[in-house]
Amino acid sequence: MLRNFTSTMISAPKRVPIPKNGVDYRGKVVLAPMVRSGELPSRLLALKYGADLVWGPETIDRSMIGTTKRFNSITSAIEYTRLPSNSSRPQPPDQKESVIYRLHPVREYGKLIFQIGTSSPATAVEAAKLVAEHVAGIDVNAGCPKPFSTIGGMGAALLQEPDRLASILTALVKEVGEVYEIGISVKIRLLETAGKTEALVRKLCSTGITGLTVHCRTTPMRPRERAIREQLNMIADLCREAGVACLMNGDVKNRDEALQLVQEYGVDGAMIATAAEANSSCFRTQAEGGLLPWKVVVTEYMKIALEVGNKWGNTKFMLGQLMPGKAEIFRKVVGCRGYRQTCEVLELYDLVDSARELDERLGIDEQKETKAMKKGSHNNKSARAAGGDMSSQRNFEKTKRSPFSERGVGTGVSMPAMAV
């Protein structure tokens, strides 16, 4: 009996211990980190429809350092804010603070992974400590190919400096993961050859991380190019050997397909990006009814956006992703200047009062904005011809046709963070 028990123990797969406040990525279908499309309302919507975990948008470490944490009693959200620092001019005394990051400590409890953009162990640790007590894990973005990330040595630039990346992960594991008892993970892209990818994965898995996500594209590849999955089996085997959970990302359309791919390639879970940006109910299985009509999803999104007081610009952008561009009502929503107008256009009359209150809190004056837009359209024809009139239907539809979701590993910087 002892011999059989020992044999069983020896053959059991190795697993890096999951910290008390962390989460095991195995068996999970999750929302990928996405610029603009990964803000609080989108994450809550994905959780409502069955996402097991949600990644927030990549947030640069230096934009978090120096923020003030506050609890918003109206929305029950925790907000990290700071005054704009992108100008050398003196700020007016009534200057409003920018919200760098928001999370819901109850509705996202045990489900939220904070993704950080960094190129330094020291600043990564300093920023991660600010949110560590409220999240289930810290994920390092090591795959974004966009210049705003790589020019600072972050994102995909870290793939060319594996020692630096490993040092960042090691520092986070020791100084954040072990202290706050949460998991540390990393998201990468494929390298030029399978051999280079293998060497990188081996190095990263030795740092003490609990999870690794691979976006199945190389750095130069764009989202429209088919994901490369030929190396997945190898990567999954390496992670399994080290006891690290392995997630895949790239061209995953829904939960059913995600579970199928998990079985086919031997990975532990999958991320959904673009499909979730277009319809968050993609996290439902066919047995649960599959995709819901866009009107149902939009209604739920608007309810959540109102509940958490989402910034109007982000809500309008998301409506452009969730609504079909050819729908007649889409053209009407394009012309809306605030929540009240939008709810009336969408015939969400039970939400109009809440929408009016939020417009007031956000300082949205629909009539003033409409007049300003009209004046701008008369006085700035050159800007309009160059695409500067972002209120026009043509430009709004162009934005819709070019979603931000998978630009750079399906990850991106939150808009406030880019402004810092």
Contact between 29 and 272 under an 8 Å Cβ cutoff? The reply is: yes
d(CA 222, CA 69): 36
Phi, psi dihedral angles at 131 (to 5 degrees) = -115, -5
* Beta strand spans in 83-224 (E): 98-103, 112-117, 137-142, 183-190, 211-218
d(CA 210, CA 20): 12
Neighbours of 31 (CB within 10 A): 31
Q: Enter the DSSP assignment of 173.
A: I
Nearest to 203 by CA among 160, 146, 145: 160
- Which residue's entry shows tokens 């989202």? 223
Contact between 26 and 53 under an 8 Å Cβ cutoff? The reply is: no
Q: Give catalytic status of residue 144 as yes or no.
A: yes
Nearest to 117 by CA among 65, 161, 59, 168: 59
Phi, psi dihedral angles at 346 (to 5 degrees) = -80, 0
d(CA 319, CA 329): 11
* Beta strand spans in 147-285 (E): 183-190, 211-218, 245-249, 269-272
Burial class (CB in 10 A: 0-12, 13-18, 19+), 384: middle
d(CA 402, CA 399): 5
* Beta strand spans in 68-132 (E): 68-72, 77-82, 98-103, 112-117
DSSP SS3 for 232: helix
Among residues 144, 216, 239, 343, the one annotated as catalytic is 144
Strand partners, 148: none
Contacts of 296 (CB under 8 A, 6+ apart): 281
Q: What is the set of active-site residues?
A: 144
